[in-house]
């Protein structure tokens, strides 16, 4: 079935499950990490989301649980995956469900924001794997519902995000409850000194696997900058969505929660199916929004950076940055929601004059000058001059036709006056 690649070393039932899921050839992180993990080695992996990382660690763990069967003890899981966000935990759990389709390996996914009743019920069914966020995990440990004394495989996923969210004390508390004899897996998109120190406390004699550290792959993402007055960003977004019906799944990022709600209301008024996702939303609201987006019932997902990491939604046509993030790495994680699994995608940043510092910092970080698209009706020359881009000799985006440039350099206010104009196709070169 998988003769000649690493998937062929998995239990036959797991092979059947991943065949059903459409897996054929392992990704680089799977090809490099899985041999070590199948041998029981500790591992430090530096890889972005969307690289197949979840399968790289979950398949060997499930393979171990299948090969080494033990009596189940309620509330004493054999594998623990620690995730920074509810969405990432739920996504990992979905993958576990998919991979364990033909094996009897119960699991539980625990996170806050919802009632613990269903989660406790799954634990009491004999969950051998627990995927958890730190807060709810500690809560269940405190209640005497979960114990970590029999954990054989421990995964700390998105460690850099964990630290950004202030989970370091919780992580250390959880690690202190784990058995000394265990297999530990540590994954992070970046490797700062603080991250390395944490990894050093967790793993023993680890194998090291690195997939594009610090300089994430952005080559397949068609990036561009559109200069526009801050007050006209909403109008430009609406215009882009109306003139590009081929964009069936779009993620729009805002810096603030109220900004996400504002944009979502504008979409509603323009009869564009949208949903907002941010930390003020309940878990059920966030789950419904993501499910609607995955199914195509919601065309536009408006999100804060809570959704920029770990959300693996296939076939995202375009990512739009309503504002540039203050942290340069967040830009890469945002645009990485498109161009998943080897596909191409587009990322548009709507930049106003006061975002010069962020734009320059992002370009330094990705080691690439982002092309400017002047061929839109709300192009703002003042913003472009203020950011110092007009004389950079930048290559024009492939969708810009020279004959249109003079026409679009004029400043236009409002979007109603230009909705009927013919616009270039961003989706084609």
pLDDT at 2: 77
* The dihedral formed by the CA atoms of 257, 267, 237 and 323, expressed in degrees to the nearest 10: 0
- State mean pLDDT over 28-51: 90
Indicate the pLDDT class of residue 396, thresholds 50, 70 and 90. very low
300 vs 315, higher pLDDT: 300
Q: Which residues contact 21 (CB under 8 A, 6 or more apart)?
A: 98, 99
332 pLDDT more than 50: yes
> How much is the mean pLDDT over the chain?
85
How much of the chain, in percent, has pLDDT values that exceed 70? 85
> 341 and 365 in contact (C-beta within 8 Å)?
no
- State mean pLDDT over 396-406: 39
Dump pLDDT digits (tens) for 140-190. Answer: 999 999 999 999 999 999 998 888 788 999 999 999 999 999 999 999 887
286 pLDDT more than 70: yes
- State mean pLDDT over 314-320: 90
**pTM of the prediction?**
0.63
349 pLDDT more than 70: yes
pLDDT at 140: 97
d(Cα 41, Cα 183) in Å, to the nearest integer?
Answer: 7
pLDDT at 87: 81
d(Cα 168, Cα 342) in Å, to the nearest integer?
Answer: 33
d(Cα 250, Cα 102) in Å, to the nearest integer?
Answer: 35
d(Cα 67, Cα 50) in Å, to the nearest integer?
Answer: 28
Pair type for strands 300-303 and 250-253: parallel
Indicate the pLDDT class of residue 367, thresholds 50, 70 and 90. confident
d(Cα 426, Cα 311) in Å, to the nearest integer?
Answer: 24
- State mean pLDDT over 406-428: 40
- State mean pLDDT over 392-402: 39
Identify the weakest region by mean pLDDT among 131-135, 138-142, 421-425.
421-425
pLDDT at 408: 39
Indicate the pLDDT class of residue 280, thresholds 50, 70 and 90. confident
d(Cα 133, Cα 338) in Å, to the nearest integer?
Answer: 25
Indicate the pLDDT class of residue 98, thresholds 50, 70 and 90. very high
pLDDT at 411: 40
Dump pLDDT digits (tens) for 197-218. Answer: 999 999 999 999 988 644 445 6
417 pLDDT more than 60: no
| Token duo for residue 291 | 């499910």
130 pLDDT more than 70: yes
- State mean pLDDT over 119-146: 97
DSSP strands (E only) in 299-391: 300-303, 318-321, 345-351
Element (H, E) at 137: helix 134-142
Domains of the chain: 6-210 (3.40.50.300), 221-418 (3.40.50.300)
409 pLDDT more than 50: no
pLDDT at 191: 82
d(Cα 211, Cα 391) in Å, to the nearest integer?
Answer: 35
| Token duo for residue 135 | 């807060």
- State mean pLDDT over 306-318: 73
308 pLDDT more than 90: no
Adjacent-strand bridge partners of 253: 303, 321
> 312 and 91 in contact (C-beta within 8 Å)?
yes
- What Cα–Cα distance (Å) separates residue 160 from each residue in 60, 201, 327? 23, 15, 13
pLDDT at 65: 97
């Amino acid at each position: 079935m998988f003769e000649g690649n690493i998937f062929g070393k998995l239990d036959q039932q797991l092979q059947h499950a991943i065949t059903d899921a459409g897996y054929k050839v392992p990704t680089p992180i799977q090809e490099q990490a899985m041999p070590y993990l199948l041998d029981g080695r500790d591992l430090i992996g530096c890889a972005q989301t969307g690289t197949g990382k979840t399968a790289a660690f979950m398949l060997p763990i499930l393979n171990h649980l299948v090969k080494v069967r033990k009596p189940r003890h309620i509330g004493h899981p054999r594998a623990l995956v620690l995730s920074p966000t509810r969405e990432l935990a739920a996504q990992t759990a979905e993958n576990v469900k998919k991979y364990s389709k033909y094996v009897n390996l119960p699991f539980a996914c625990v996170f806050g924001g919802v009632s613990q009743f269903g989660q406790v019920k799954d634990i009491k069914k004999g969950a051998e794997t627990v995927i958890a966020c730190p807060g709810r995990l500690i809560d269940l440990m405190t209640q005497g519902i979960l114990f970590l004394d029999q954990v054989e495989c421990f995964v700390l996923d998105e460690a850099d995000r964990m630290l950004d969210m202030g989970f370091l004390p919780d992580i250390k508390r959880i690690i202190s409850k784990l058995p000394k004899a265990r297999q530990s897996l540590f994954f992070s998109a970046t490797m700062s000194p603080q991250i390395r120190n944490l990894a050093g406390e967790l793993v023993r004699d680890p194998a090291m696997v690195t997939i594009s550290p610090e300089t994430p792959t952005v080559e397949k993402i068609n990036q561009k900058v559109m200069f526009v007055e801050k007050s006209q960003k909403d109008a430009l977004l609406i215009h882009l969505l109306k003139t590009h019906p081929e964009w069936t799944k779009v993620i729009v990022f805002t810096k603030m929660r109220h900004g996400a709600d504002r944009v979502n209301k504008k979409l509603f008024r323009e009869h564009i199916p949208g949903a907002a996702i941010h930390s003020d939303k309940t878990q059920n609201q966030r789950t419904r929004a993501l499910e609607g987006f995955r199914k195509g019932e919601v065309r536009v997902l408006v999100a804060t950076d809570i959704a920029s990491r770990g959300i693996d939604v296939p076939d995202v046509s375009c990512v739009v940055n309503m504002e540039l993030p203050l942290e340069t790495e967040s830009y890469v994680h945002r645009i990485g929601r498109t161009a998943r699994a080897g596909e191409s995608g587009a990322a548009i940043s709507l930049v106003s004059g006061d975002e010069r510092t962020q734009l320059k910092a992002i370009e330094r970080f990705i080691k690439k000058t982002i092309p400017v698209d002047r061929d839109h009706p709300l192009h703002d020359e003042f913003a472009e001059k203020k950011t110092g881009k007009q004389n950079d000799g930048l290559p024009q985006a492939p969708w810009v036709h020279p004959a249109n440039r003079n026409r679009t350099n004029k400043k236009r206010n409002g979007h109603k006056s230009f909705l009927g104009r013919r616009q270039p196709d961003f989706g084609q070169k």
